[in-house]
């Protein structure tokens, strides 16, 4: 499998070189997308069901020593994970001013010229790709000439563990980028621990189960830029997908990913979602992916296999699953499907 994946990545790099950044395409064509970005009708279809009201979890109560308050928030988290898999976190203690600084440095980075951003290209200073993605600035991998492309550019950086950071790919401009992102990351890691503890408790496991078993092995960040598009009804910022993570955090909300669905044996759901485009204005987003260590084995937790409910997913290393995520996402497929027994 390793040799096949290396060949796939080489092909993807070569094909991606032929595709300009979304920012450049939009500026040249006044927001008009080339044919390769026009999605098939099946990809534009509405997702399974509307999300409705997103559950709100008060993290200050999740951390509370008052058992009754904590149990209430744990039960709300469980309900959210059983249904849409999407929830919003309040009471996390991160100042609004810091969240706004993160948004601002992200916007300022993408506002720079394409030439400036190319200094951090994902094809430079980045010889290794152990887990299905490359760090740096660029766009999605292109695996075939028939692949329909998403309307976004990205900056992908590893934040945790600290020793895996490739500082050559961190933007030098704006000057406050590094300081702001590291400050935010320190607070994010604390939030991740509390959410993982609450998820474990809600499944009847020891609260440290996920943390002690390497579920918080790596935390890469993905900054994304969605230019305005003159045909928002035909183009997607990102195709329908679920996240190959344990949990995903964005500035507005959080959600369990495929790893938690697999480990819970299908009890908790990984949210299927997509990103639409806008004909009038650009957008930015930040997704923070909490992933298992690459040598971890993913599979249903033994304690959650019950009589009358057989094991639904096979076991696989996180590294191999990451490669499947990479290949399936490019084809618009959910990688979790191949895990089913």
Domain borders along the chain are 2-339
Write down the pLDDT at residue 127.
46
Element containing residue 187 per DSSP (H, E): helix 177-202
Taking alpha carbons only, the member of 189, 199, 143 closest to residue 333 is: 143
CATH code of the region 2-339: 2.60.120.330
Structural tokens at position 298: 């993913």
Write down the pLDDT at residue 337.
82
Q: How many Å apart are CA 146 and CA 59, to the nearest integer? A: 45
Q: How many Å apart are CA 272 and CA 164, to the nearest integer? A: 29
CB 210 within 8 A of CB 193: no
Q: How many Å apart are CA 178 and CA 193, to the nearest integer? A: 23
CB 82 within 8 A of CB 116: no
Write down the pLDDT at residue 4.
46
* Torsion angle (degrees, nearest 10) of CA 107, 113, 116, 122: 70
CB 7 within 8 A of CB 234: no
Structural tokens at position 253: 């909300």
Taking alpha carbons only, the member of 205, 253, 215, 234 closest to residue 84 is: 253
Q: How many Å apart are CA 192 and CA 70, to the nearest integer? A: 16
List, run by run, the mean pLDDT of 10-residue segments along the chain (341 residues).
Answer: 49 55 88 87 50 80 88 92 88 94 96 92 56 75 81 94 93 97 96 95 95 94 93 87 90 79 92 82 92 93 85 92 82 80 86
Write down the pLDDT at residue 130.
47
The model's pTM is: 0.88
Question: Residue holding tokens 């069901």?
Answer: 49
CB 260 within 8 A of CB 247: yes
Give the N- to C-terminal CA distance of the chain in Å, as an integer: 20
Write down the pLDDT at residue 128.
45
Write down the pLDDT at residue 45.
45
C-alpha of 18 from chain center: 25
Write down the pLDDT at residue 254.
62
Q: Using N-to-C axis directions, what is the helix angle for 318-330 and 2-16, rounded to 10°?
A: 40
């Amino acid at each position: 499998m390793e040799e096949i994946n290396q060949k796939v990545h080489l092909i993807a790099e070569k094909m991606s070189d032929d595709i300009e950044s979304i920012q450049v395409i939009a500026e040249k064509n006044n927001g008009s997308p080339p044919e390769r970005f026009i999605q098939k009708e099946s990809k534009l279809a509405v997702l399974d069901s509307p999300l409705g009201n997103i559950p709100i979890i008060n993290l200050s109560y999740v951390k509370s020593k008052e058992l009754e308050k904590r149990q209430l928030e744990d039960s709300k988290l469980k309900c959210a994970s059983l249904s849409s898999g999407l929830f919003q976190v309040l009471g996390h203690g991160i100042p609004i001013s810091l969240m706004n600084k993160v948004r601002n440095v992200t916007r300022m980075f993408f506002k720079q010229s394409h030439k400036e951003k190319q200094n951090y290209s994902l094809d430079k200073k980045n010889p290794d790709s152990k887990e299905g993605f490359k760090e740096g600035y660029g766009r999605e991998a292109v695996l075939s000439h028939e692949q329909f492309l998403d309307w976004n550019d990205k900056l992908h950086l590893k934040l945790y563990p600290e020793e895996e950071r490739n500082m050559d790919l961190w933007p030098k401009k704006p000057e406050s980028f590094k300081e702001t992102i590291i400050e935010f990351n320190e607070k994010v890691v604390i939030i991740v621990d509390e959410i993982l503890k609450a998820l474990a408790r809600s499944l009847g496991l020891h609260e440290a189960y996920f943390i002690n078993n390497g579920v918080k092995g790596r935390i890469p960040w993905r900054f994304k830029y969605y230019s305005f598009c003159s045909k928002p009804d035909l183009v997607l910022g990102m195709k329908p997908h679920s996240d190959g993570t344990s949990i995903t955090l964005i500035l507005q909300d959080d959600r369990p990913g495929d790893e938690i669905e697999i480990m819970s044996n299908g009890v908790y759901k990984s949210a299927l979602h997509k990103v639409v485009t806008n004909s009038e204005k650009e957008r930015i987003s930040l997704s923070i992916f909490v992933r298992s260590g690459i040598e971890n084995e993913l599979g249903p937790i033994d304690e959650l296999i019950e009589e009358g409910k057989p094991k639904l997913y096979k076991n696989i290393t996180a590294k191999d699953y990451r490669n499947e995520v990479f290949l399936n996402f490019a084809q618009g497929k959910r990688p979790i499907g191949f895990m089913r027994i």
